[in-house]
């Protein structure tokens, strides 16, 4: 495998995969309802006379399931073009030129048509033979034609929406922005107090700007331009942001959700990006899944999906594909991709990031045993390989509680005034957790007061056999420690992190380390557009006239800029965001 191909794994949307084996992915992506419907339709041979050739040729569990369904409805699935093929089935990104290149021929027989691979599934779903000449299934000759047609289609849609918008809709983002600029030139801007009510116009302008900021968290090739075509929200601008909405832990509600199948498949893709540490793209899927969870009706078309917040062009197409075919081609293609599986395997080793995984893959590493033989392994990586399964297994809340109790009781022996607070998914009320994050703080204590306490705590927990390894010593001025712990009756090593938090910073730290990531990004966006900077140390007022401060510029913030850090609820209040209990921070 060439180095460039490995780079493409992390940079291209075309490399999507779940982290499970083929059989488990196939099981999770097949609906019981779909299976029942197919049984009812077995006698309706809506594909009689069709002889399909699937390109690219692939054989995995999900493809075999589709092939079986096609055959049950009368079709013949061929292995080669010479088998009297009538139709070649290809994905939506393929052109006829791609087909010729794949088959290594100059032209196709006049009796063979090239159509989209969702045609058979649509026939089965509709219980009738559809028109294979329908433009929806037509495959273009080349990518140039395809691009031109797409541009024309988008242009016509934009013109139609613009006409409708002129008659019935509020001003677009662009119009609103231009109006704001004109107003700002003619009317002196008056600074408003935090508790003064904002006008409806000011709220709308702020919402548009916030949407533009939030778009950066959607995957780059799935990003929907903020161009005024999206549906406008009524009421307070803040309702458009994840941190403004209550989102109880969603596992139970997904079962009865009208978009359950779509959510399930998008969740597999989200899991893939989390496994490959591609947080940038994962954010886009989190937003889309959160939006779908709030819908009370099925979203079945790309047109419907694009009207919803947080769902762009590419994601809307995926939603339509899942709704109409019951599967997602990208996941199928990735199931059998050995590079994808290997990189996901390596990245889940503690101490191995995307860059290291790519290097190891280039060097020929394909298994954990291969990785174990590398001479350049750090001590943390060696432990990560040895306890790979333990570290990657999620644990029930009850297990986290037992580990937390050991830490809390030990801490009390050294200082009764010190506090240990479990964070992350545990504080958000989730049923299981990936690791154990514990904040250690104490009333009126500074960081240098807490550091000696941490050293004593670690030494004691090691002596009783609770802490079994250190994966990194205290760093960042001694504010963090990473390791693993084990409790009697459970031999599995669990990831354990200690986070030292000065008392005066506890409110901001509680927000930051509770999460989840999407909630945190959303509330930080609100802070930036209200003239603040929010991080784990506090809420700071930015100097007048300064632009949004990036995370790497946090060191430029000083104590004189600090507005609030100690009180978690007060930070919400200052930002004008209704306080959300930790269990409501799972958007």
Using alpha carbons, select from 439, 474, 476 the residue that is nearest to residue 568.
Answer: 439
Alpha-carbon gap, residue 325 to 91, rounded angstroms:
12
Alpha-carbon gap, residue 530 to 195, rounded angstroms:
13
- Are 378 and 480 a contacting pair, CB within 8 Å? no
Over the range 152-187, which residues count as b (16 or more CB within 10 Å of their CB) and which as e? eeeeeeeeebeeebeeeeebbbeebbeebeeeeeee
Pair of tokens at residue 250:
């969603």
- Are 440 and 454 a contacting pair, CB within 8 Å? yes
Alpha-carbon gap, residue 387 to 496, rounded angstroms:
14
Pair of tokens at residue 402:
């037992």
Contacting residues for 239 by C-beta, under 8 A, at least 6 apart: 233, 245
Q: Collapsing DSSP states into helix, strand and coil, what is residue 180?
A: helix
Helix (H) or strand (E) holding 498: strand 490-500
Using alpha carbons, select from 502, 519, 538, 503 the residue that is nearest to residue 427.
Answer: 519
For residue 134, give Cα distances in angstroms to 94, 108, 116, 139.
Answer: 17, 20, 10, 10
Alpha-carbon gap, residue 481 to 312, rounded angstroms:
39
Using alpha carbons, select from 526, 549, 544, 573 the residue that is nearest to residue 207.
Answer: 526
- Are 370 and 19 a contacting pair, CB within 8 Å? no
Pair of tokens at residue 543:
């100097």
For residue 103, give Cα distances in angstroms to 89, 106, 108, 383.
Answer: 13, 9, 9, 48
User: Residue 55: is the preceding peptide bond cis (ω within 30°)?
Assistant: no
Active site residue 318: yes
Contacting residues for 288 by C-beta, under 8 A, at least 6 apart: 266, 310, 311, 315, 319
Q: Which position among 61, 277, 318, 442 bears the catalytic label?
A: 318
Active site residues: 318
């Amino acid at each position: 495998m060439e180095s460039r191909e490995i780079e493409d794994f992390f940079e291209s949307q075309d490399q999507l995969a779940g982290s499970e084996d083929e059989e488990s992915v196939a099981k999770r992506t097949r609906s019981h309802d779909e299976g029942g419907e197919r049984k009812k339709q077995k006698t309706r041979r809506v594909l009689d006379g069709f002889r399909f050739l699937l390109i690219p040729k692939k054989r995995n569990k999900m493809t075999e399931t589709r092939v079986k369904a096609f055959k049950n409805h009368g079709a013949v699935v061929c292995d080669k073009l010479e088998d009297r093929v009538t139709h070649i089935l290809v994905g939506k990104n393929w052109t006829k030129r791609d087909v010729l290149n794949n088959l290594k021929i100059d032209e196709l027989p006049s009796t063979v048509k090239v159509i989209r691979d969702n045609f058979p599934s649509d026939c089965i779903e509709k219980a009738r033979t559809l028109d294979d000449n329908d433009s929806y299934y037509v495959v273009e000759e080349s990518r140039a034609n395809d691009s031109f047609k797409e541009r024309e289609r988008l242009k016509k849609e934009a013109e139609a929406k613009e006409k409708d918008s002129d008659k019935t809709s509020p001003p677009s983002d662009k119009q609103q922005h231009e109006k704001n600029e004109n107003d700002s030139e003619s009317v002196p801007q008056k600074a408003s107090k935090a508790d003064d009510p904002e006008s409806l116009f000011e709220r709308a302008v702020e919402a548009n700007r916030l949407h533009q900021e939030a778009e950066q968290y959607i995957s780059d090739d799935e990003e929907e331009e903020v161009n005024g075509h999206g549906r406008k929200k009524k009421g307070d601008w803040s309702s458009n942001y994840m941190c403004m909405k209550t989102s109880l832990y969603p596992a139970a509600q997904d079962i009865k959700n009208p978009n359950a199948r779509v959510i399930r498949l998008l969740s597999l893709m989200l899991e893939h990006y989390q496994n490959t540490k591609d947080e940038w793209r994962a954010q886009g899927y989190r937003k889309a899944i959160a939006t779908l969870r709030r819908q009370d009706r099925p979203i079945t078309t790309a047109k419907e999906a694009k009207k919803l917040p947080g769902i762009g062009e590419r994601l809307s197409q995926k939603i339509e594909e899942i709704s109409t075919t019951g599967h997602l081609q990208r996941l199928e293609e990735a199931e059998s991709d050995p590079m994808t599986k290997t990189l996901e395997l390596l990245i889940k080793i503690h101490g191995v990031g995307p860059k290291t995984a790519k290097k190891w893959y280039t060097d020929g590493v394909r298994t954990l045993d291969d990785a174990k033989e590398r001479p350049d392994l750090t001590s943390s990586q060696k432990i990560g390989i040895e306890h790979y399964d333990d570290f990657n297994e999620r644990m029930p809340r009850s297990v986290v509680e037992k580990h937390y109790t050991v830490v809390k009781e030990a801490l009390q022996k050294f200082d009764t005034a010190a506090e240990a607070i479990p964070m992350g998914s545990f504080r958000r009320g989730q049923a299981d957790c990936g690791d154990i994050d514990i904040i250690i703080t104490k009333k009126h204590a500074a960081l240098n007061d807490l550091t000696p306490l941490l050293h004593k705590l670690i030494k004691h927990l090691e002596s009783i056999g609770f802490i079994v390894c250190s994966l990194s010593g205290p760093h960042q001025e001694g504010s963090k420690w990473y390791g693993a712990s084990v409790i009697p009756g459970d031999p599995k090593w669990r990831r354990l992190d200690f986070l030292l938090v000065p008392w005066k910073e506890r409110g901001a730290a509680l927000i930051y380390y509770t999460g989840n990531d999407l909630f945190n990004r959303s509330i930080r966006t609100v802070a930036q557009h209200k003239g603040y900077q929010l991080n784990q140390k506090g809420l700071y007022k930015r100097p007048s006239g300064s632009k949004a401060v990036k995370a790497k510029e946090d060191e430029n913030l000083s104590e004189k800029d600090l507005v609030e850090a100690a009180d978690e609820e007060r930070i919400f209040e200052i930002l004008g965001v209704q306080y959300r209990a930790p269990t409501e921070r799972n958007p």
